[in-house]
Chain A
Amino acid sequence: MGLLAATKTRPVFWGLGPWLEALWYVLALLSVAVFAYGVVRLVRKYGRGRGQSWPARRRRDLPREVAGAARELLSQARIKRRARAAGWAHQGIFFGFVVLFIGTVVLAFETDFTAPVFGWRYFHGDFYLAYKEALNVAGTVLVAGLLAMMIRRASSRSVRLDYARPDRAPQEPQFDRRIYRRGDWAFLTLLLLIALTGFVLEGVRIAMEQPGYGGTQFAGWLIAQPLVGVGEATLAGLRHGLWWFHGLLAISVVAAIPYTKAAHMLTSTASLARSDPDAGKHLQPVPADRAAEPPGYGSLLDFSPRHLLQLDACTRCGKCHEACPANATGLPLSPRDLVLELREQANHAAAGVSGVLGGLLGARDEAELSAPVIGSQKLRSDTVWSCMQCNACVEICPVGIEQAPIINQLRRRLVDDGELDAGLQSTLETIHKSGNSFGQSRRRRGRWTEGLDFEVTDARKKPVEILWFVGDYAAFDPRAQEASRSLARILRAAGVDFGIMYEGERNAGNDVRRVGEEGLFESLAEQNIAAIEGCEFDRILTSDPHSLNTLRHEYPELGGEWTVLHHTALLLELLDEGRLRVAEPLARRATYHDPCHLGRFQGEYESPRRILELLGCTVVEMPRNRDNSFCCGAGGGRIWFAEEGGAERPSESRIREAVGLPDVDLFVVSCPKDVVMYEAAIRSSGNEERIQLREMTELVESAVLASGVEEGAVC
């Protein structure tokens, strides 16, 4: 390599002179200081939150957290979900930015550390060539990513990029978040300018020096071509100007990171690292030492540091906005806008009484931080009540924000303050009084079994293999009762030893908890746990995904740990084991609706589909399926509201989606609430002739019992 290789380098501070070089260092250090201060300020802001980030029983697992975040950073798999092109563009920007940043650090490391301290210089020769190569590729990828994003912003009509708030009327000043759009463009433009000036600078240098190996710095070399032959002085002036321009832009961006959208590099990564895989499925209990205080989130000070961090982690990607069933049906809620509204409040409060100065002095307006986050010009209570707690937002969020659990915390305070829908209030009173949401006498809970020609075992009196936790809808709603009886007949036909708890059972509390009535949830759970512990059984069965979720994810914390399974899992088991045999394949084209609490909450997507295939059905998927399944509108206690609001019922939107499928006339559900919601929606949307609703159990029964397995023939 020798001499030639030794010359393969470039001066860092070309022709700058000692004073300007000193000035540069001052500016650079200043930018780092501003950056550091911003980071400290963020961390301190999160520290103001008094809420508990994790339940006491969970130990932190730092290696897992870091590994999880690193994996996502490298793969960007979550960003690419339901947005492949934008995801790849983001990955380009990410890698470009990171490599260029590392490149700068590597250079600074030699200039400011190894060279002055040890006299060791490495920025030449092969290393320099590889470095240039890498940075050229990185820069190109960065520019390509940025351009792709700009084209997307300029041309796409995607709802994700529409920042209009559904929780504000168009004439209200906060309706249009134009400032965000400007910020997005500014951010993209700034990054693009830095990247481009870097390339031009490279080109000018190559044009001046004409080192003859431009082929390895293809971008710079290309830019240099038209400049070859331009006067030396012109080029030198250009080079000086560009150097400062590029440099100042770059250090400004560094300084601005914690204060702008760029903060997501830090906050989103941290949020991801601290994300909770059970978010929404397992809501946090009120910490024992906080029992005397009002529960939930009333002001920003009540938030957990983790949730405050999440507010800053939002990148406005709009995936939750698009996935939210409330937003899609005209209710005044977008999870994105809820997060942004809270973030704006947090930033406003954290900025302190005297703006920047207050911020610099670390002063914060205590009164503002402790003010209610809900108000007519703030977050509105009907926004909080619009949520169906279906977890679609949490599930799709690429940076681990827990919109639904945050909403749940906000609801807890609203319930405590008595600010709730009249229908919801009377339902909660009813549940407290009678243990069920139907306002029926406790003693009627087992009444649905009277339509059977055999007696269902009382599991409180006799040990059983399977303890069936029926749940409110399956026990009390007349249509859902049909499915319950069907399941009872199948279990009997398959020779399953099962029983129910009759009036010993209470509402499972899953939706009561999601409404924010934590006290009532605890009371119901305690009563159920006591009742269940009084029975002898191997496994718990339920046809209600809501009950399944809370029994599986939330009861263990309160002392109830059992194996709990959904009836679709048991039915599949019975079919696989041959205890149930399909006599007459159904040969129908069916579509299957994933219940939120079975799909997103339990990750159970395949068992129901396999059952349908075993029954001889062809499963035709709706556009929104599996993890993107669309809530029926009943979740989060919304089924109990007196006032529905919204432009279209979520259930009717879903039926519209189903009847749009070619030759599908069967809508299969596996949740008692879905039975009720969709039977009504099929009727109210006038689709009785076009599509038929069946609970999974009913289909299984019609295919299995056709074999002549009459009721009671087996066992």
Chain B
Amino acid sequence: MKLVVCVKQVATIDEELELRDDGLDADFELELNEWDAFSLETALQLREGAAEGGEVVVVTVGDEDAEEALVECLARGADRAVRIAAPELAGGEVLGIAAALAAAVEREEPDLVLCGVQSSDAASAATGVALAGRLGLPRVAVVKRVERDPASGSLTVWRELEAGASEVLGVRTPALLTIQTGSCQPRYANLRAIKQAREKPLAVCGLDELGLAPSAVPRGSRLRGLRAPETGTAARMLEGDAAELAAAIREIIEERVAR
């Protein structure tokens, strides 16, 4: 069983995020996208559960910094990694990224492609399914559970609906799933494993090597600018120590709930 997991090195969303002067990007620290930890874990468990064994390949689009995300995945148990170096896609536009991923994934001929539902920074919830569209793969978005029939290799998946409900679907492979958080418990990548993971195969290739001409890279949108949200703090801020805050909160509750 061959699995490809598409991952993203994302910006750490914290209060230190600062807009750059050109208004087109921000400075931040990086981490592996939260959702991708779950899709990777799902892939590892499927590989471990497959009697015939298998291979988990992680793929990302990004600059050298993005290799940290790949190393983390290798440390958790992925077998090898591919980084698509494409400075022309630096803006992270969904359809362009999907096209680059498609070119790389196609070569791997996987049984299953897994993506996170979305990335925590851009939150487009689109790259995985755009990739499936490009590859013409059956796909299910927002999956919280996967079972694989060992004989046929076909999948039963639980597509998450709102409020704890789900739709159960049968899917034939090859296919693509986008995995929801909370679907499993991602394993720990300890530092020793991370060190050893640096020895695992990590290929870097450009778009030309993938046979994707610059003119063939689609662009779904153009970023005109970034700005801080206008709303800011709409709330009336309560002041005081914990006891004073509690008293104020009690007052609001009494006044507005009982009304």
A393 to chain B minimum Cβ distance, whole angstroms, is 26
Binds B, one of A361-369, A513-521, A654-662: A513-521
Chain B residues contacting A415 (CB-CB under 8 Å) are: 188, 190
Closest beta carbon of chain A to B165's beta carbon, Å: 26
Give the distance in Å from the alpha carbon of A428 to the alpha carbon of B189 in the complex: 10
Residues of A contacting B: mostly? helix
**Contacting B190 at CB < 8 Å: which of A440, A442, A444, A517?**
A517
Contact B29 A519 (CB under 8 A): no
Give B76 Cβ to nearest chain A Cβ, in Å: 9
Complex interface residues of chain B between 176 and 223 (CB less than 8 A to chain A): 185, 187-196
B192 touches A295 (CB 8 A): yes
Contact of B192 among A441, A442, A444, A519 (CB under 8 A): A519
Contact with B along A422-444 (1 / 0, CB 8 A): 10010011001110000011111
Residue B79 lies at the interface, judged by CB distance under 8 Å to chain A: no
- Chain A residues with Cβ below 8 Å from B188 are 415, 418, 420, 425, 428-429
Expressed in whole angstroms, the Cα–Cα distance for A442 and B15 within the complex equals 11
Could you say which residues of chain B place their CB within 8 Å of the CB of A442?
Answer: 29
The reply to whether the CB of A665 lies closer than 8 angstroms to some CB of chain B is no
Are A441 and B16 in contact (CB-based, < 8 A)? yes
Contact A518 B14 (CB under 8 A): no
Minimal beta-carbon separation of B47 from chain A (angstroms): 16
A420 — nearest CB in chain B belongs to which residue?
B188
The answer to whether residues A520 and B16 also contact, given A433-B29, A442-B29 and a CB cut-off of 8 A, is no
Q: Give the complex CA separation of A428 and B193 in angstroms.
A: 14
What residues of chain B lie closer than 8 Å to A523, measured between beta carbons?
Answer: 191
A433 to B14, CA, bound (A): 13
Residue of B nearest to A433 (CB): B31
- Please determine whether B29 and A517 come into contact, CB atoms closer than 8 angstroms: no
CB of A684 to closest CB in B, whole Å: 14
B12 lies within 8 A of chain A by Cβ: yes
B191 near A520: Cβ-Cβ < 8 Å: yes
Write out the residue numbers on chain B whose beta carbons fall within 8 Å of the beta carbon of A341.
none
Contact status B192-A416, CB under 8 Å? yes
Task: Mark B155-191 against chain A: 1 for CB-CB distance below 8 A, else 0.
Answer: 0000000000000000000000000000001011111
Q: Which residues of B contact A422 (CB under 8 A)?
A: 185
Question: With the chains together, A432 CA to B196 CA distance in Å?
Answer: 16
Q: What residue in chain A is nearest B27 (Cβ atoms)?
A: A443
CA distance A440 to B189 in the complex (A): 20
Q: Does A276 contact B (CB under 8 A)?
A: no
Docked pose: A440 CA to B17 CA in angstroms: 12
Task: Write the chain A residue with the least CB distance to B186.
Answer: A425
| A440 and B14 contacting across the interface, CB-CB below 8 Å | yes
- Mask: chain B, 119-135; 1 = CB below 8 Å from A; 0 = not: 00000000000000000
Query: Across the interface, which residues of A come within 8 angstroms of B31, CB to CB?
Result: 433
Question: Chain B, 28-40, contact with A by CB distance < 8 Å: what is the 0/1 string?
Answer: 0101000000000
Interface residue? A522 (CB, 8 A) = yes
Contacts of A295 in B (CB 8 A): 192
Please determine whether A434 and B29 come into contact, CB atoms closer than 8 angstroms: yes
Cα distance, A519 to B185, chains bound together (Å): 22
A519-B195 in contact (CB<8A): yes
B107 to chain A: closest CB distance in Å?
31
Q: Complex: how many Å from CA A520 to CA B195? A: 10
B95 to chain A, nearest CB (A): 30
A685 smallest CB distance to B (angstroms)? 17
B14 / chain A contacts, CB cutoff of 8 Å: 440-441
Tell which of B29, B194, B196 touches A441, judged by Cβ atoms closer than 8 Å: B29
From B15, B16, B187, B195, contact of A418 by CB (8 A):
B187
Closest partner residue, chain B, to A442 (CB atom): B29
Alpha-carbon gap, A420 to B189, bound state (A): 12
Asked whether, in the complex, the Cβ of A518 is within 8 Å of the Cβ of B29, the reply is: no
**CB-based contact B190/A416 at 8 Å:** yes
Contact sample, A vs B, 28 pairs, CB 8 Å cutoff: A291-B192, A292-B196, A415-B188, A415-B190, A418-B188, A418-B190, A425-B188, A428-B188, A428-B190, A429-B188, A429-B189, A432-B191, A433-B12, A441-B12, A441-B14, A442-B29, A444-B15, A444-B16, A517-B190, A517-B191, A518-B191, A518-B192, A519-B190, A519-B192, A519-B193, A519-B194, A520-B191, A523-B191
19 more A-B contacts (CB under 8 A) besides A428-B190, A440-B14, A518-B191?
Answer: A291-B192, A415-B188, A418-B187, A428-B188, A434-B12, A441-B12, A441-B15, A441-B16, A442-B29, A443-B16, A444-B16, A517-B190, A518-B192, A519-B190, A519-B191, A519-B192, A520-B190, A522-B191, A523-B191
**Partner-A contacts on B (CB < 8 A):** 12, 14-16, 29, 31, 185, 187-196
